[in-house]
A = this chain, B = another copy of it.
Amino acid sequence: MAEGLPPQVPVSKYCIEIADVVAAADRIRPFVHRTPVMRCAQLDALAGKDVELFFKCELFQKTGSFKIRGASNACLAVPDAEAKKGFVTHSSGNHAQAVALACQQRGVPAYIVIPSNAPLPKKNALLHTYGAKVFECKPTNAARAAMAAEKVKETGAKFIHSSNDPKVMAGQGTIALEFLSQITEMGKRQLDALIVPIGGGGMLSGMAVVAKSLFPNIKVYGAEPAGASDAFLAKQAGQAAWKGVSQHPKPPHTCADGLKTIMLEHNWPVVRDLVDRIFLLSEKQIIDAAELVYTRMKLAIEMSAGTGVAVALSEEFQKLGHKRVGVVLCGGNIALDDLFSSLRKKFVRDE
């Protein structure tokens, strides 16, 4: 299993190994979609000579993002007696929806703490679509964590972190199990490289454990906005200095709002050892790449998913000469008000 890896970092030394991901895949199979892998000749041409890009379409996943994989695994791995007290998280984003749906599917309560400035449609989706119990708090990290801790204490429910949790990491790792099998099913030689967006790092580290265990020669890369570069900085600084740098040097600012989270201790060792490199992207690169995905592939991705595409299209990446490149389109939850309000202004008012 450790073939091709430095002998000092056997894959089994991390908080998860591939067996955990295989178990997660069995556990969550009835509750998640096996999302398709798509191709696009026009993007291939932009990615360099003879390059084939393979897009893992987690935007088509239940709840519109990969997060349901980790949330389902965390929720289903708990015995009935404990699970029936429910689960708590704090998030206004994809992880909140994922925990809410995972709880609904298991028939247990979900307690979701959201900042008071979260958009109303998100709150309503949590309440009405997924039947979660929603609690508003002040829009600060401290207030969110405090109220979540309070809910845990009050209800006996279990907290599920969006990334710093081995069960969540194993759940997200199932993307790699599926993706690499699908490449084989397509009759293709295996990928040279995988590009995965990184916020908290649950998806990147889960997928890295799988890819490096099964195919040690696959390069695994993170895609991170320059405006939320904690993982890049941590990797640059190395382990010793990690605790000091694993925070955003200034408040994160990026259109890729799913990637503002900080990488914490469960993900760090995997990112340190098994991720070959983290690429930083400018906002322009992310938005340009996302626009290409909309216009050429006709996929309505969220900006976080633009980061992986932006890496594949960057000169820096193309210099590495990878020919078969997998990119995770991690989600499609994005506010499209600007598009639709302008259409309505132009056409509906005439009626």
Within 8 A of B (CB), among A293-338: 294-295, 297-301, 303, 332, 336, 338
Measured between beta carbons, the chain B residues less than 8 angstroms from A59 are 298
Tell which of A11-19, A145-153, A343-351 binds the partner. A343-351
B-side contacts of A301, CB under 8 Å: 298
Contact B340 A287 (CB under 8 A): yes
Which residues on B sit within 8 Å (CB–CB) of A340?
287, 290-291, 294
Residue numbers in B under 8 Å from A254 (CB-CB):
347
B255 near A343: Cβ-Cβ < 8 Å = yes
State the Cβ distance, A102 to closest chain B Cβ, in Å. 16
- Nearest to A256 among chain B residues (CB) is B347
Interface of A (DSSP majority class)? helix
**Closest-CB distance, A237 to chain B (whole angstroms):** 24
Is the pair B287, A344 in contact by a Cβ cutoff of 8 Å?
A: yes
Max count, chain B CB within 10 A of own CB: residue among A287, A299, A301, A347: A347
Interface residues in A73-123 (C-beta closer than 8 Å to B): none
Given contacts A253-B350, A338-B339, contact A332 B283 (CB under 8 A): no
Asked if A64 is an interface residue, CB under 8 A from chain B, the answer is yes
Total copies of this chain within the assembly:
2
Q: Could you say which interface size class chain A belongs to?
A: 35 or more
Give the complex CA separation of A319 and B90 in angstroms. Answer: 43
How many whole Å from A36's CB to the nearest CB in chain B? 7
Complex alpha-carbon distance, A291 and B299, angstroms: 13
Q: In the assembled complex, how far is the CB of residue A43 from the closest CB belonging to chain B, in whole angstroms?
A: 13
Which chain B residues lie closer than 8 Å to A300 at the CB level?
A: 294-295, 298-300
Pair B255/A294 contact, Cβ less than 8 Å: no
B-contacting residues, A266-308, CB 8 Å: 282-284, 287, 290-291, 294-295, 297-301, 303
Pair A283/B348 contact, Cβ less than 8 Å: yes
* Chain B residue, CB-CB nearest to A294: B300
Of B64, B284, B298, B338, which one neighbours A342 at CB under 8 angstroms?
Answer: B338
Q: Any chain B CB within 8 A of the CB of A179?
A: no
Residue pair A283, B64 in contact (C-beta under 8 Å): no
Q: A298-B60, A300-B299 are in contact. Are A283 and B347 (CB under 8 A)?
A: yes
How long is the Cα–Cα vector from A36 to B350 in the complex, in angstroms? 36
Among A38, A284, A297, A339: residue with most chain B CB under 10 A: A339
Shortest Cβ-Cβ A-B pairs, 4 listed: A298-B332, A283-B347, A339-B339, A338-B342
Please report the C-alpha to C-alpha distance between residue A332 and residue B293 in the assembled complex, in whole angstroms: 12
Residues from chain B with Cβ under 8 Å of A343 in the complex? 255, 287, 290, 303
Least Cβ–Cβ distance between A281 and chain B, in angstroms? 11
The closest CB in chain B to the CB of A36 belongs to B36
